[in-house]
Structure 1
Amino acid sequence: MKAITFTVALAAALLPAVALAQEASSYDNQAPAAEAQTSVSSGPTVSFGLSAATDYVWRGVSQTDSDPAVFATVSIASGGFYLGAGTENVDFLGIDQEYDIWGGYVADLGGAKLDIGFVRYGYIDAPVNIDTIEAKAALSTNAGPVGLTLAVYHTPDYFGSSNPATYAELAASAPLAEKLTLSGAFGRQQIDRLADYDTWNLGVAYEVMPGAKVDVRYHDTGTNAFGSLGDARLVGSFSIAF
Structure 2
Amino acid sequence: MIRILTSALAASLLLAGAAQAQDAAPAYRNWSFSFGGATDNRSKDASKSQGDAFVWGEAEWESESGFFYVTPAFETIKASTGSDFEVALAAGIRPEVAGFDLDLKVEHKWQIDADPGADDDAWEFTADVKRSIGPASARLRLQHSPDSTGSTDAWTWVAVRGGWDFSDKLTATAEVGRREQDNSVDYTGWNAGFTYALTRNIEAEVRYHDTDADANNPQYADAVVAGLSFAF
TM-score by length of structure 2 reads 0.80
SS of structure 1 residue aligned to 2:219: helix
Q: Distance in 1 between matches of 2:197 and 2:123?
A: 32
CA deviations 1:103-149 (Å, max 9, x no partner) are: 11111225211121112221001121231111111111124421111
Tell me, yes or no, if structure 1 residue 84 matches structure 2 residue 74.
Answer: no
Q: Does 1:142 align with 2:132?
A: yes
1:214 partner amino acid:
A
The match for 2:54 among 49, 62, 69 is: 69
Question: Which residues in structure 2 correspond to 1:167-186 (within 5 Å)?
Answer: 167-186=157-176
Give the letter aligned to residue 77 of structure 1: E
Distance (Å, rounded) in 1 between the aligned partners of 2:230 and 2:130: 23
Query: Could you say what secondary structure the match of 1:228 adopts?
Result: coil
- Given the superposition, is the C-alpha separation of residues 147 and 195 from structure 1 closer, same or farther in structure 2, using an over 3 Å criterion? same
Contact 2:88 2:107 in 1 (8 A): yes
1:49 Cα offset (Å) = 0.4
- Looking at structure 1, the residues matched to 105 and 48 of structure 2 have their Cα atoms a distance apart, in angstroms, of 24
Q: In 2, are the aligned partners of 1:111 and 1:142 still within 8 Å (CA)?
A: no
The amino acid across from 1:103 in the alignment is A
CA contact (8 A) 1:156 1:162 kept: no
- Say which structure, 1 or 2, has more relative contact order (CA 8 Å, 6+ apart): 1
- 1:220 is aligned to 210
Structure whose CA Rg is larger: 2
Give yes or no for the alignment of 1:235 onto 2:196.
no
Q: Give deviations 1:153-208, integer Å, cap 9, x for gaps.
A: 11211225473221111112111234111012111111135441111110001101
The answer for unaligned runs of 5 or more in structure 1 is 1-41
Which of 38, 43, 54 is matched with 1:58 structurally?
43
- Spell out the pairing of 1:73-222 with structure 2 (5 A cutoff): 73-78=58-63, 79=65, 80-93=67-80, 94-127=82-115, 128-161=118-151, 163-192=153-182, 194-222=184-212
Please report the TM-score for the alignment, with normalisation by the length of structure 1: 0.77
Compute the RMSD of aligned alpha carbons.
2.0
Aligned length: 201
